Structure 1
Amino acid sequence: SANYMSDDFVNEHFDFYGKTLSGQQELKPRWKRVMSTTSSGLGEAIGQLYVQKYFPPEAKEKMVVLVENLRKSFGKRIKNLDWMSDETKQKALAKLDAITVKIGYPDKWKDYSKLDIDPDNYLQNVRNAGKLEFNRNLAKIGKPVDKTEWGMTPQTVNAYYNPSNNEIVFPAAILQPPFFNKDADEAVNYGAIGVVIGHEMTHGFDDQGRKYDKNGNMNDWWTKEDAERFEEKTKILGRQYDHYTLLDSLHVNGALTMGENIADLGGLNISYDAYQMSLNGEKPKKTDGFAGDQRFYMSYAQVWRQNIRNKELIRRLKEDVHSPGEARVNVPVFNLDVFLKAFNISPEDTLYIPVEERAYIW
């Protein structure tokens, strides 16, 4: 609770968690901290207001179409895999078809009518909000899992795959620029939110997600031979990240970040194919001198631009299951023939990966 008390407590909390652990130089302004606390404590109540203002029905309609294009694209890629048996392919396709997609906001909102708010007691309000959520969770004991619930609020800029429910969830806040713009051209949307969608779908088939079946139960549905081939292919990708250097001498941990790296590579492949499907055989016009394929990959790269302190980067390299933004762009794209062709990459280029060392998974 120190972060919600008087300045002395807040400053001590920041000195350790902000400065010492993350290298932050200054505390966020009070209004930003309070806004974040309110958004957390009143999650879906704030979410309703956010959706009303920033997520019109036509945006959701376009997203539904985009997601289904990604599902079709992934299905085709699974059917065409040369390393997976027909037996495992059929089960993979069944799992893909069974994925539940949640877009924008929940169909049923959480009830906050029992939350006591005192305009003069900030700390108590935080405690009351925490208590309400704790009691809400206690009330679930002994009852069937409510699969309509969301694990993120609509105003959260993120997305996730839940293996136990075999679902992918995209809050309204990630369905905004630069990830998604209902008025943007297809290359830009597929290069950004399209890859995010493909990324989350691929989590159902990454090193951990593949261990769950279409119903969300932990169940080994792979043949022994297919599982071994999958592991060999992921090792190739892992080595690429292990060799990627940041801050002169630090390396990405390919094992720690494996699931996210598989999902990034899969997302790029799946979304690019879906983008091509959306063109219906037509060749897109150049925009600002860039061809459609170039805009697709530039849109993806723009999503992962970062301004990060060295100390925070070092911490994340040790703890985060996600690779840093720079590596999330520079490693997977150099495995892709279409990217190399789009930008005329040659074997002489620094990040070029020889064909025999490239990762081909999903």
Structure 2
Amino acid sequence: MDLAYIPSPSTGVVHLGPLPLRGYAFCIIIGVFVAVWYGNRRWIARGGKAGTVADIAVWAVPFGLVGGRLYHVITDYQLYFGEGRNWVDAFKIWEGGLGIWGAIALGAVGAWIGCRRRGIPLPAYADAIAPAIAFAQAIGRWGNWFNQELYGKPTDLPWALEISEGVNREAGLYHPTFLYESLWCVGTALLVIWADRRFRLGHGRAFALYVAAYCAGRAWIEYMRVDEAHHILGLRLNVWTAMLVFVLAVVYIVVSARLRPGREEVVEPAAVRQGGNGEKGENGEKDGDKGEDGIAGTEGDADSASLAASASASAGTPGSGAPSPGKDAEGDPADSGSAGRS
């Protein structure tokens, strides 16, 4: 007798009158809202303007949904175009089936378009929203629980997932791979947040760390799944994809750190032209270069520091103690490139 297990919902749809509320779609929507909310906090903390993340998400989210669905349909075409299948089902996104690889790839294209329209560097935007995306994935994976899909091999562990009899599935207790991936995504988000604060990652390296960490977990979780999938040399296609993308992400981190060390000093030119983003942090201080908790960091706004230094030097008078032009406070030649450097 199995004394403990995770039950699955008897249905993935709840009807409020004529309106169907589908658990899968609900999880995706909640994930998007969380990503935009938390991404906005991180963007403001980096010196950007409030609302920018949402404006760019208007481009990124639709592109991401289309990309995710395309990847799923192309890699699992037999589910929709095989014998006895109905190709119309390929458009029923509420029944499940979003490939994260396609979602990130095409979503990045949408984000690039949105960033171009606002004159924002895509790598800086990607760094800000990286952990937010991971949190969104953690929430979105619970949609698979509602649909009783993407589970692993049979198991008798206390946290086994109960699956009922249905189309293309047998009743039994299986590894809850949806839960494993959800927890891994939360851990990935926390890792990126910690590393970003500790090492001040910039120029897309925080996003690359998110990609590498996610792929490391996805590879072993994917290996546990038993749903139908294409195999290459004995491994599922998504395992190969995870390994390839992991290598690319690590290479990017190494090369980027050598070519462009440090972090961007200005992420949104419009915010600088307005004298900073003008937003107040949770402690009432202006957001220049702050952590996600709204506490001011050690470095201020780079442009503001440069302007203040120039004004101080030009306004110096004999006996005022102000440094002479071209000299620092100790009377040594000033380093013109050090103001605001991260």
Tell me the TM-score normalized by structure 1: 0.26
Q: TM-score, normalised by structure 2?
A: 0.27
